[in-house]
Amino acid sequence: MTPLTRLIAAQIDAAGPITLADYMGLCLMHPQHGYYATRDPLGAAGDFITAPEISQIFGELLGLSLAQCWLDQGAPSPFALVELGPGRGTLMADVLRATARVPGFHKALRLHLVETSTALRACQAERLTEYSPTWHEQIETLPDLPLFAIANEFFDALPIRQFQRSGDGWCERVIGLSKDGTLTPGLAASGATGALAHRLKDTADGDVVETCPLGTRIATEIGQRIAQQGGSALIVDYGDWRTLGDTFQALQDHATANPYESPGHADLTAHVDFEALAIAAAPARHTRLTPQGVFLERLGATQRAQTLAASLSGEALTAHVGAHRRLTHPDEMGTLFKVMGLYPEGATPPPGLNP
């Protein structure tokens, strides 16, 4: 039994079953035993690998798309360059290297990172020290400046609630204790849930739907800032336009695991419902949801890959070709991952994305 299992079991014993969102929040972010709080989970030695850790092309193209938005909006100075959940800082380092030649961009930017994990903040500090980043626990403390933001595999890590349809009501998934004291998922009694009224139309009895209250709150805040002060956001993640079904999953050592077995030791994620984020971000405009492979190729991923390939040979070249394929090919991350941009009414959408 992990220390976190004991802690959660004691909490349930005292106050009753907890929601999936509370469970996920404790597993991922508990200050002593949480998954992100205690380790660097990214990369070959960790539990999963993300696009910026696969190839520099990803961050370079995202950075240039964002910088073009900044130019299209009249190059406001100063502005906040923001990353939500920057992981090891690799993505932002690539963004900054690629945008160094955009006249005025570096002079105008103030780097702000939204990150709760102290372990990962230390990695980010090491990579990004020359840009003197300011860290934030939550998005609400960002400065009142035009906001140019990126978020890769951030929203999938935020706690979700899960509901199973029962007639015209919904039963919430909760975590309780079985007789032998192990953590066990179950369903609470059915109740009406106003936030899910629109899902009565596209679901049947027994269907599962998910909401992400924190994700919605963050999208609302970003959307309001972009609509009022200018800016844009690029959100990249796995998920769909309106998700349906149970997408909650645990990943440990690059393989799926039982999410209730060793809390704090596995990464817990859920697919992102981009429609919910787009609705929350209004009055900011949103682009069409676009497959990652299409987005990167529109921005010149192949040309960039060829330029980089020119100075490589042998194993390094093979790895480089494989990395480009992994990011863009439909059988790999190319269609599973999607991109959505946010931008102000009347502005040009981020390059690579259509309104």
Please give the residue ranges that form the binding site for ligand SAH (CB under 6 A).
36, 42, 50, 52-53, 85-87, 91, 114-117, 120, 152-154, 157-158
Based on CB atoms, which residue is closest to ligand SAH, 84 or 108? 84
Based on CB atoms, which residue is closest to ligand SAH, 158 or 280? 158
Q: How far is the CB of 22 from ligand SAH (least distance, A)?
A: 13
Q: How far is the CB of 91 from ligand SAH (least distance, A)?
A: 5
Q: How far is the CB of 6 from ligand SAH (least distance, A)?
A: 23
Q: Which residue is nearest to ligand SAH (CB)?
A: 85
Q: How far is the CB of 283 from ligand SAH (least distance, A)?
A: 24
Q: How far is the CB of 236 from ligand SAH (least distance, A)?
A: 8
DSSP one-letter string for 168-188: TEEEEEEEEE-TTS-EEEEEP
Q: How many CA atoms lie within 13 A of 291 on its CB side?
A: 13
Based on CB atoms, which residue is closest to ligand SAH, 112 or 285? 112
- In 289-334, the DSSP E strands lie at 290-291
Q: How far is the CB of 53 from ligand SAH (least distance, A)?
A: 6
Of 122, 134, 126, 128, the residue nearest 78 (C-alpha): 134
Helix (H) or strand (E) holding 224: helix 213-229
Based on CB atoms, which residue is closest to ligand SAH, 113 or 299? 113
Based on CB atoms, which residue is closest to ligand SAH, 135 or 260? 135
- In the chain, the DSSP E strands lie at 18-19, 79-84, 109-114, 134-136, 147-152, 161-166, 169-177, 183-187, 208-211, 231-240, 249-252, 255-257, 267-269, 272-273, 285-286, 290-291, 337-343
Of 185, 140, 182, the residue nearest 162 (C-alpha): 185
Based on CB atoms, which residue is closest to ligand SAH, 108 or 280? 280
Q: 210 — alpha (psi -120 to 50), left (phi > 0) or beta?
A: beta
Q: How far is the CB of 316 from ligand SAH (least distance, A)?
A: 22
Q: Which residues, other chains included, contact 57 with Cβ-Cβ below 8 Å and sequence gap of 6+?
A: 296, 301, 304, 305, 308, 323, 324, 327
Based on CB atoms, which residue is closest to ligand SAH, 108 or 147? 147
Tokens found for residue 190: 């059915």
The whole-angstrom distance between residue 333's C-alpha and the CA centroid of its chain comes to 15
